Copies of this chain bind each other. A is one copy, B any other.
């Protein structure tokens, strides 16, 4: 939690951004409820709604907040505890003291929040809210506002009666540019991610069950932070981008993709990917591809700075990879034409990176186009390019991931071959020797600065193929 002023300033800035759009009425923020795993009362580890946390700071379930756009009033809603709560959960600070900690003088019991919302609805005042991530909040907002469940998550101008586009734009504008206090927390999240990945690399030994490594590395995130910032990807089937099964044994000759990050206790994310040779040494075939990805990661980093867009960085990076794949005879023909018709999507069906902050894909639930594109450009329809989550002109305070990859996905290759998607650029004969290769991805977290950019965290995970082999031989 930050100083009270941080939250006061954010709420003030939000009021200003709403005023610029001539928005009237009230803005409501629902904090998260507890989320049951198998029964109510046996809950997943509590995670506050990121937007609530950003403006209201209270990291506990069953809170809400209201900002009045017409008179600037604000109120934090939550319930004080009774003797039963004290027996089970211990003495707790009052809601008033929690309001005080975030510079909000007015606090009321949670039931008053419901009344405030229904009163505004009855009076015909606009009620601005963000599309809710959680089903409970979706249900609750539909109940309170009378808006059908399916519309509650649909973002559009407030006049259309769903989630408020005006509010989404205002929040995105604020959260995209990280404050100094946030950057400090992101450096901490990156450091936890460093230790998490170090545990993974040390665990990557033939004969070990993948799940064993996942448990140990996630244990690090619980010891030092909130936990993993997303479900850990650790797989020898790295060609599957989000592989969440961990039932295989580490086998010499294969590659292990580890894509994982930590969330700090203050709920800022990190997200790194490394790819290791299971035997400790890359084969020639593996090293050829690995070095292309490693150089692509380096190139993207060097291009990441104010004055360019992440769209352009993505294009330059996939162009580089296609050049190198051409040199190895995976593709044949004019590289510019290949970039233009999206041939890189066969090898890297995802984008170069995404925004990161309190969410590992920052604000993804507000709509990827609002977050990563804004009014600056249109999303591409191509595979790969079309999956780019962040395309904006870069500004100091942006945090993005730099995560090129090359994968050999048999089902996708077969589909392209069958449907002629490659327009004759692809050498399928060469590819036929790579169906059991897997995939390689290498990812760092990058802060855009005034001068250029810097990688987050106090240390960088080893990445050069020679460094990886060297350190693995010693561990």
Give the B-binding residues of A (Cβ under 8 A).
33, 35-45, 47, 49-50, 83, 86-91, 133-136, 138-139, 143, 149, 211-216, 218-224, 230-231, 237, 240-245, 349, 358-361, 363-365, 409, 411-412, 415
Known A-B contacts A44-B44, A220-B219; A86 and B134 likewise in contact (beta carbons under 8 Å): no
Known A-B contacts A216-B223, A222-B214, A231-B45; A133 and B90 likewise in contact (beta carbons under 8 Å): no
- Whether the Cβ atoms of A87 and B47 lie closer than 8 Å is no
With most chain B CB atoms within 10 A of its CB, the pick from A40, A47, A219 is A219
- Whether the Cβ atoms of B211 and A87 lie closer than 8 Å is no
- Whether the Cβ atoms of A412 and B242 lie closer than 8 Å is no
- Whether the Cβ atoms of A87 and B149 lie closer than 8 Å is no
- Whether the Cβ atoms of B38 and A243 lie closer than 8 Å is no
- Whether the Cβ atoms of B35 and A87 lie closer than 8 Å is no
- Whether the Cβ atoms of A243 and B133 lie closer than 8 Å is no
In the bound complex, how far is the Cα of B280 from the Cα of A88, in angstroms? 27
List of B residues within 8 angstroms of A231 by Cβ: 42-43, 45
Sorted nearest first, the 9 A-B pairs with minimum C-beta distance are: A219-B219, A215-B223, A215-B222, A90-B240, A39-B365, A135-B136, A135-B135, A39-B364, A44-B44
Q: A41 to chain B: closest CB distance in Å?
A: 7
- Whether the Cβ atoms of B38 and A35 lie closer than 8 Å is no
Known A-B contacts A133-B39, A135-B134, A359-B42; A89 and B223 likewise in contact (beta carbons under 8 Å): no
Please pick, from B37, B89, B365, the residue contacting A47 in the complex, using a CB distance under 8 A.
B37
List of B residues within 8 angstroms of A37 by Cβ: 44, 47
- Whether the Cβ atoms of A411 and B216 lie closer than 8 Å is no
- Whether the Cβ atoms of B364 and A89 lie closer than 8 Å is no
Known A-B contacts A134-B135, A139-B135; A365 and B215 likewise in contact (beta carbons under 8 Å): no
- Whether the Cβ atoms of A412 and B138 lie closer than 8 Å is no
Closest B residue to A407 by beta carbon equals B87
Known A-B contacts A87-B349, A240-B89; A42 and B221 likewise in contact (beta carbons under 8 Å): no
In the bound complex, how far is the Cα of B35 from the Cα of A82, in angstroms? 30
List of B residues within 8 angstroms of A39 by Cβ: 50, 133, 359, 361, 363-365
List of B residues within 8 angstroms of A243 by Cβ: 89-90
Closest B residue to A358 by beta carbon equals B38
List of B residues within 8 angstroms of A364 by Cβ: 39-42
Closest B residue to A383 by beta carbon equals B87
- Whether the Cβ atoms of A44 and B38 lie closer than 8 Å is no
30 chain-A/chain-B pairs, Cβ below 8 angstroms:
A33-B135, A35-B135, A36-B133, A36-B134, A38-B133, A38-B359, A39-B365, A40-B133, A40-B364, A44-B44, A45-B231, A86-B240, A86-B409, A87-B240, A87-B241, A87-B349, A90-B240, A90-B245, A91-B411, A135-B139, A138-B139, A139-B149, A211-B222, A211-B223, A214-B222, A215-B220, A215-B223, A216-B219, A218-B218, A218-B222
Known A-B contacts A38-B133, A40-B133, A360-B42; A222 and B223 likewise in contact (beta carbons under 8 Å): no
Known A-B contacts A35-B35, A237-B90, A240-B89; A361 and B223 likewise in contact (beta carbons under 8 Å): no
List of B residues within 8 angstroms of A211 by Cβ: 222-224
In the bound complex, how far is the Cα of B39 from the Cα of A231, in angstroms? 13
Q: A393 to chain B: closest CB distance in Å?
A: 24
- Whether the Cβ atoms of B411 and A83 lie closer than 8 Å is yes
With most chain B CB atoms within 10 A of its CB, the pick from A135, A243, A359 is A135
Known A-B contacts A87-B412, A135-B136, A139-B149; A361 and B42 likewise in contact (beta carbons under 8 Å): yes
